[in-house]
Amino acid sequence: MLPPGLVIIILTIGYYTLLKVIVIQDWIMYSTFYSFILVGYVIYDITHYALHHVDTTKHKGSWFHRLQKYHNKHHFSGQDAGYGVSSPLWDLILRTGYKSTKEE
């Protein structure tokens, strides 16, 4: 997770670098495409921040509580699995999920 100021700097440099490297005639289409990348990153970053800082103990069993438990396993189980930060979907696709144990 990067600090917002650093993200803004990196995204600004990336925006103008791609604009120079990829000669796109349609500025509106390029800006729209880059805006989707930016919004996707912001949603990911907010979700990741919330997974670390929101107290979900009062809502055990909720979707977000289960996602938080899944993400916390990544940090406290050797970090060799569970790379899906905002969703376990990529862990299913890339087979980086947790191996089932009888204790769970």
Where do the structural domains in the chain lie, given as residue ranges?
Answer: 1-53, 57-104
Rg (CA), the chain: 18
Residue 65 binned pLDDT confidence (cut-offs 50, 70, 90):
very high
What 8-state DSSP symbol labels residue 97?
S
pTM of the full structure: 0.64
Is-contact 18 35, C-beta < 8 A?
A: no
Residue 79 is predicted with a pLDDT of 63
Calculate mean pLDDT across residues 36-47: 84
Calculate mean pLDDT across residues 25-54: 83
